[in-house]
Structure 1
């Protein structure tokens, strides 16, 4: 159920019936020639809708901006600071707590938001001790992706506009994918990128980290459904 389309006269009863708030969080950034700037928003939003249906949650409006420092110099990317994101998430969480929610699940579509989400959850742990706070980023995806991918990952952590993320889009938002424009770009990511600030233009001109041509809806469904099942289990535990 989408929170923003409820009215103030009836929403209190719906909060009491659900107690679960689900916030999709994404970003606006370059995703190669075949995926839109709002890829992370679309993925977070559509995955959140599936999660809300499974756990009887209330899906909040998507938070569409994220920390995209690494890609901030690519055309179309919009970056906000970790501090700004943390403050907003804490404010949202505290407001939800006052409204009577018992669970706040942040469904993240952008890896770069991870630090801010974790810090916000820690802050809410102190200020909203009776509310469970989750920060989800495709839990269990690493093993699932390894089972279906046809090429090695360009990085042990990063995946971007590649075989995997494009597969997610083909499953969750296929109408926004232009597979005829998909490319293969497997950059050599230097070791120092893991230990010192490194803008991505130092190792890629496309923002694609892999072979997007190998993406399929079936791969995306396999991985996303495993992540969804894990989120459901964690919320219901």
Structure 2
């Protein structure tokens, strides 16, 4: 059920039975020649809708901007400061708490948002102690991706517009994928990228970190289904504790 399509006269009763608020969070940034700028938004929304069906949740309107410092110089990328994102998320969480929600789950589609989500959750832990707050980024995906990938990952953390993320899109939103334009671009990412600020244009011109040509809907389904199963388990375990 999507929050924004409810009306003010009925929402109070719906919150009483749907105590879980799911906030898709994405970004607007370069995703190579075959995926749209809003890929992270599309994925976060799609995952949130599927998750809502299993946890009786309300899906909030997507927060479509994120922290994309690393790709900020690519055409089309729009970035927020971590401080701005934290402030917005805290305000949303506190509003949800006042409205009567007991669980606030942030469904993240963009790795770069991770620091801000974690910090916002910590603030809400102090300001709304009875509100259960989660920040999810495809939990369990690392092992699942290793199970299906045909090429070695370009980085032990990053995945972007590659075999894996393109597979997500082929499974969840195939109409937005142009596989005729998919490319293979496996850059050499320097070791210092993990320990010092490193704009991505220093090692990639495409923003693709892998072989997008190897993406399939089946691979995406395998990983996404595992991630959703893990989110359901974490939400229900916490709710019953």
**Superposition TM-score, scaled by structure 2 size:** 0.98
1:21-60 maps to which residues of 2 (within 5 A)? 21-60=21-60
1:88-138 residue CA offsets vs partner (Å, 9 max, x unmatched)? 000000000000000000000000000000000000000010010000000
Q: How many angstroms apart in 1 are the aligned matches of 2:108 and 2:143?
A: 19
Q: How many angstroms apart in 2 are the aligned matches of 1:17 and 1:147?
A: 38
Residue 235 (str. 1) matches residue 235 (str. 2): yes
1:128-207 maps to which residues of 2 (within 5 A)? 128-207=128-207
Aligned CA RMSD, in angstroms, stands at: 0.3
1:171-207 residue CA offsets vs partner (Å, 9 max, x unmatched)? 0010000000000000000001000000000000000
Q: How many angstroms apart in 1 are the aligned matches of 2:109 and 2:173?
A: 13
- Which secondary structure state, in structure 2, belongs to the residue aligned with residue 73 of structure 1? coil
Q: How many angstroms apart in 2 are the aligned matches of 1:18 and 1:39?
A: 28
Runs ≥4 residues deviating over 6 A: none
1:156-179 residue CA offsets vs partner (Å, 9 max, x unmatched)? 000000000000000001000000
- Counterpart in the other structure of 1:65: 65
- Which secondary structure state, in structure 1, belongs to the residue aligned with residue 98 of structure 2? helix
Give ranges in structure 2 of 5+ residues lacking alignment: none
Q: How many angstroms apart in 2 are the aligned matches of 1:233 and 1:59?
A: 18
Q: How many angstroms apart in 1 are the aligned matches of 2:19 and 2:127?
A: 18
**Superposition TM-score, scaled by structure 1 size:** 1.00
Q: How many angstroms apart in 1 are the aligned matches of 2:78 and 2:57?
A: 29
The total of aligned residue pairs comes to 237
1:50-100 residue CA offsets vs partner (Å, 9 max, x unmatched)? 001111100000000000000000000001100000000000000000000
Give ranges in structure 1 of 5+ residues lacking alignment: none
Q: How many angstroms apart in 1 are the aligned matches of 2:211 and 2:12?
A: 47
- Which secondary structure state, in structure 2, belongs to the residue aligned with residue 157 of structure 1? coil
Shift of 1:143: 0.3
- Which secondary structure state, in structure 2, belongs to the residue aligned with residue 86 of structure 1? helix
